[in-house]
């Protein structure tokens, strides 16, 4: 590719390439601050696939070229959920899409009605659930089916309005957590408890929820 790779004895790995606009080359650096095991680089190798192998005083690295491929240009993508069969579900403002890799690349097709898919999540039993502008739906055999009655239990901003939910997550203990503009809601044993800024939430809107292996919930607010 015409790049010059420089292994230094104390300043990490350098990639020197054409800056494009003038005669000054562009120097990009990888150091221990960006994941390199040591700033002392001892050896370099480019293999037949274009990967750069880097040997340092404390380990070996492989730098693999990555390519960003547009798959759904022009779509407002709100949520992404991988499936066990290797396919990927993508929720957009204009409906649900399913992408599969057929060996020649990723191919996508629309699934079901052109609903606004606001979030996709897999519960503790592995079932996929979608929150849409038509309420909560189960994702079964590639189709959005029956509404989920418990969705009505999530607190709403006004009487008779559809709850706005940005994220829903079922924890290991069976508790369902829902996040949205009104904060965080906990649904357990048929009882809904609303948690907001008064409970220590650092912001009003909860955009994403997940759980780490140690049992803690992680919130994006």
| Cα separation values, 105 from 50, 62, 86, 95, 108, Å | 20, 24, 13, 22, 10
Percent of the chain that is helix, strand, coil (3-state, to 5): 5, 45, 50
pLDDT at site 28: 92
pLDDT at site 61: 92
| Cα separation values, 216 from 121, 190, 220, Å | 18, 22, 13
pLDDT at site 139: 85
pLDDT at site 154: 44
pLDDT at site 186: 87
pLDDT at site 14: 96
pTM recorded for the entire structure = 0.55
Q: Where are the beta strands (DSSP E) in 58-182?
A: 59-63, 77-82, 88-92, 95-101, 106-111, 117-122, 128-132, 135-140, 143-147, 167-170, 176-180
pLDDT at site 181: 85
- pLDDT tens string 92-107: 988 999 999 888 888 8
Task: Please name which of 214, 220, 215, 216 lies closest in space to residue 201, comparing C-alpha atoms.
Answer: 220
pLDDT along the chain (221 residues), means of 10: 92 88 84 92 91 92 81 82 89 90 86 86 78 81 69 42 73 85 82 80 87 90 89
- How far is CA 156 from its chain centroid? 26
């Amino acid at each position: 590719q015409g790049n010059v790779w420089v292994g230094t004895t104390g300043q990490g790995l350098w990639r020197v390439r054409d800056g494009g606009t003038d005669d000054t080359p562009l120097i990009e650096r990888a150091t221990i601050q960006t994941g390199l095991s040591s700033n002392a680089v001892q050896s370099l190798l480019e293999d037949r696939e274009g990967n750069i192998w880097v040997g340092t005083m404390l380990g070996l690295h492989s730098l693999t070229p990555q390519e960003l491929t547009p798959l759904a240009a022009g779509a407002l993508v709100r949520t992404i959920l991988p499936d066990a069969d290797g396919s990927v579900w993508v929720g957009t403002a204009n409906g649900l899409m399913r992408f599969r890799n057929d060996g020649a690349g990723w191919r996508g097709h629309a699934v079901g009605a052109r609903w606004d898919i606001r979030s996709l999540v897999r519960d503790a039993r592995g079932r996929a659930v979608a929150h849409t502008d038509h309420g909560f739906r189960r994702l079964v055999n590639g189709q959005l089916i029956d509404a989920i009655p418990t969705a009505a239990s999530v607190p709403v901003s006004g009487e008779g309005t559809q709850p706005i939910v940005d994220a829903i997550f079922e924890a290991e203990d069976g508790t369902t957590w829902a996040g949205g503009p009104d904060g965080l809601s906990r649904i357990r044993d048929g009882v809904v408890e609303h948690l907001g800024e008064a409970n220590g939430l650092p912001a009003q809107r909860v955009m994403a929820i997940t759980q780490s292996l140690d049992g803690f919930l992680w919130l994006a607010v």
